[in-house]
């Protein structure tokens, strides 16, 4: 299983809209994420900074699966209105590099 951390940035003044959008994730998108192998996706916000942690079967597969998915395309269009977007949704990224993790006992 892949655990990926991502960093994105909400556009200035769009923080409340971003939060509101995430209060009502479309069921079709949740179903598509599950079908793509996503187990968990958590997002934290500090000001404009967003930090995501995703646990999924295969991150590259998930990104490729969702790229043209009919539930994801309108969601990404909406997010592009709310985020400072630099991502082309290619699935080629590997997220933030992990530096350390508390070892299992």
- Compute the average pLDDT of residues 75-89: 83
> Residue 8 and residue 49: Cα distance in Å, rounded?
6
Among 44, 39, 78, CA closest to 59: 39
> Is the pTM higher than 0.95?
no
Question: What domain range includes position 47?
Answer: 2-82
pLDDT for residue 7: 92
The percent of residues above 70 in pLDDT, for the chain, comes to 93
Instruction: Choose, from 7, 22, 52, 69, the residue flagged as catalytic.
Output: 22
The answer as to whether 10 is a domain residue is: yes
- We report the CATH number of the domain holding residue 22 as 3.30.70.100
Quick check: 77 and 86 in contact, CB under 8 A? no
> Residue 100 and residue 34: Cα distance in Å, rounded?
28
pLDDT (tens digit per residue) in 44-66: 999 999 999 999 999 999 999 99
Question: Is residue 91 scored above 60 in pLDDT?
Answer: no
Is 22 one of the annotated active-site residues of the chain? yes
Number of domains in the chain: 1
> Residue 102 and residue 39: Cα distance in Å, rounded?
21
pLDDT for residue 99: 94
């Amino acid at each position: 299983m892949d655990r990926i951390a991502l960093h994105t940035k909400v556009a200035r003044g769009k923080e409340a809209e971003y939060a509101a959008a995430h209060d009502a994730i479309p069921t079709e998108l949740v179903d598509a994420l599950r079908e793509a192998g996503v187990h968990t996706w958590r997002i934290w916000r500090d000001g404009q900074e967003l930090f995501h942690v995703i646990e999924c079967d295969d991150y590259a597969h998930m990104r490729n699966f969702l790229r043209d998915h009919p539930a994801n395309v309108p969601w990404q269009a909406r997010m592009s209105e709310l985020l400072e977007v630099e991502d082309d949704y290619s699935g080629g990224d590997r997220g933030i590099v992990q530096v350390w993790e508390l070892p299992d006992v």
